[in-house]
Structures are given as structure tokens and as C-alpha cells.
Amino acid sequence: MDSYADNGLSPDFRVSYSLYSAEEGGRKTPAYQHIRWDFRYDDESISTRTFHIWPEILHPDGTLLLNEHVPAHGLADMFVVFPGSRAYHQQHIRLGVRGYFVEGARRVAVCEVIAVLHLHTNPLI
């Protein structure tokens, strides 16, 4: 699989992200495309839960990153994995919302929503 789009999915929103270094508590090994980081909102008034919203890392020009390590800073298209949570995220994802990529309880990157793409038009499968 080159992209989640190969399975008929469209990205729900796009973020800019910055990975934490190992010294900051981030990963000790390089990240790779299609790593299944989960998403956590930065604002606890929105939620303290972790959600299955997976990133697909992009080059700065918006094309898909393939067979390369994930850069420390960049862009990612985000895919809401569970259709049942889509309505919840439709209420909370908007430009400027900040969150984190997480591995379990560990934050590995901070991110900010820079575009809402297909979140309101993807079908509730």
C-alpha cells in the first residue's frame, strides 16, 4: 500500500507537525510512513482521550512521502479510522486546533490543524 487512498479513503484534515527528539521524550528510533500514531487533542476541555486518527506524512509540496524516514517537521494528512467517531471530530476539528501524535501515553509530536479536507464529506461507513 502506498497510501490510505488506495483503500478508497480521503484525508479528513491536514496538520503541520514537529516530532519531539529522544531527549524531549520522543522516539528513540526513526519514524516511518504509515506508523499508526494515535491522536490526542491538546485542549483537555475537548477531550483527554486518545483517538485512532492516523497520519500519512507528506513532502512539503503535498505529495506522499514514500520509503523515506519521517522528517522532524512537516505536513501530514490525517485519517479518522473509526467512522463512529467522525461526528465527534466534526464538532472539534477546525483550523488552529492543536494536538499530539502519541504512542500509548507518550507524546511523540505536537501538531496543529492547517486544513479541514474531507472530514465533513467522507461517508459514515
| CA angle in degrees (0–180, nearest 5) for 91-121-111 | 55
Distances from the Cα of 102 to the Cαs of 3, 8, 24, 108, in angstroms?
21, 25, 14, 5
Q: What is the predicted pLDDT for the residue at 125? A: 52
Q: What is the predicted pLDDT for the residue at 123? A: 67
| CA angle in degrees (0–180, nearest 5) for 42-113-125 | 95
Mean pLDDT by 10 residues, the chain (125 residues): 82 97 93 93 94 95 89 96 91 98 95 96 68
Q: Which domains are assigned to the chain?
A: 8-116 (2.40.30.10)
| Residue 78, burial from CB neighbour count under 10 angstroms (0-12, 13-18, 19+) | buried
d(CA 98, CA 22): 21
d(CA 42, CA 34): 22
Alpha helices in the chain (DSSP H): 86-92
Q: What is the predicted pLDDT for the residue at 6? A: 83
Of 33, 35, 53, 38, the closest CA to residue 93 belongs to: 53
